[in-house]
Amino acid sequence: MLRVTLEDADSGRPAAEVSFSARRGTSPAALGGGMAAPTVLVVEDEEHLLQALCSSLVQEGYQVKTAQDGEQGLEVARSARPDLVILDVRLPTMDGREVCRSIRKESAVPILMLTAGDHEIDRVAGLEMGADGYVSKPFSMRELMARVKAMLCRSRMTPNHAPGDWPKVLRAGDLEMDLTSHAAKLQGQPLDLKPKEFDLLALLVSHPGQAFTREQVLQQLWGYDYAGDTRAVDVHIRWLREKIEEDPSHPRRISTVRGVGYRFEG
C-alpha cells in the first residue's frame, strides 16, 4: 500500500492522505534500474483530477508529491527536488507558466504541462518558459503515463548523461560544448542555453552533416512522438539560431533540410 499526501493550498500542510495499492507486478525500484522510485510532482488545482493523477502514478510505482496552487508547487519543487513535474497551466496564486519559468532557472527537471483544451497560446508559452512537452485536457491517462515514463527514461539518456563512447567536449570551429558541466562557449564567450537548447545543440553538433527529422529529435530528447509536438523542435531551433548564428534569418550553422528537418553544418 502506497500513500499520497494532498497538501492544503493555503497552509501548505497535509489536507488529506489518500492511499492506493500499487499495481500487481509493479516494482518502484525496477523503474529506476534498482534505484529508488522516481518522484513525480503534480501541481494541479482540480482536486478530482489531482487524485486521479496520483492514483495512476502510484499504481505505476512512482513516488508522488502534490501541490494545488502555483506558489506551493514552486516551494515543493525546490524542497522535494522531483525527477519530473506535471504542471497545470492555469493555477491560483501563480500562473503555471511562471512556475515553469522559475523552476527552469534552477533545474533541468523534465516538465510536462497540462493545458486547457487545444489552446495553442498555452502550448507555445509553455515551451517558451522551458517546458519539455504538453498534454491537452481532456487526455488519456494511459497516454499521459506513457509520456511520463518516456520523459523520465529520456532524461537519463540526454547528452549530459551520455554513454561512455560520447566525448566529454564537443568542438565545431569556434563553438565548444562541455557535456560534463553542461556549458557552452562561442568564440570563447559563454552561451546562455536552456537545458533543452543545450541538449539539442549537442545532438546536432555530435552528428555534423546528418539530417534529423523533427520526429527523431523528439524521440532523442523528449522521448515521445505526439501529433503537434514537432513545433517544440522548431521553437528550440529558432532560439538556438538567435544565439549562435550571425544572421538568424540566414543560418549557416544549423540549416533547414526541406521536407526532412535540420542539420548542423559544422
pLDDT digits (tens, 9 = 90+) for 65-79: 999 999 999 999 999
**Residues in CB range of 94: below 8 A, 6 or more apart:** 69, 70, 71, 73, 74
Closest CA to 23 of 67, 52, 57, 51: 57
% of the chain surpassing 90 pLDDT: 48
Closest residue by Cα to residue 58 from 1, 98, 106: 1
As annotated, the residues of the chain forming the CATH 3.40.50.2300 domain(s) are 2-155
* H or E element, residue 52: helix 47-59
CATH code: domain 2-155 is 3.40.50.2300
- Written as nine digits, the cell of 198 is 543545450
Select from 3.90.1150.10, 1.20.120.50, 3.10.100.10, 1.10.10.10 the CATH code of 159-264.
1.10.10.10
Query: For residue 143, what is the enclosing H or E element?
Result: helix 141-155
Eight-state DSSP code of residue 181:
T
pLDDT digits (tens, 9 = 90+) for 122-167: 566 666 677 888 888 888 899 899 889 888 876 665 544 433 344 5
How far apart are alpha carbons 81 and 255 in whole angstroms?
A: 37
* Cα dihedral 51/52/53/55 (nearest 10): 80
Q: How far apart are CA 202 and CA 176, in angstroms?
A: 10
What is the separation, in whole angstroms, between the first and last Cα of the chain? 54
State residue 126's pLDDT score.
62
C-alpha 1/C-alpha 20 separation (Å) is 6
CATH 1.10.10.10 residue window(s) in the chain: 159-264
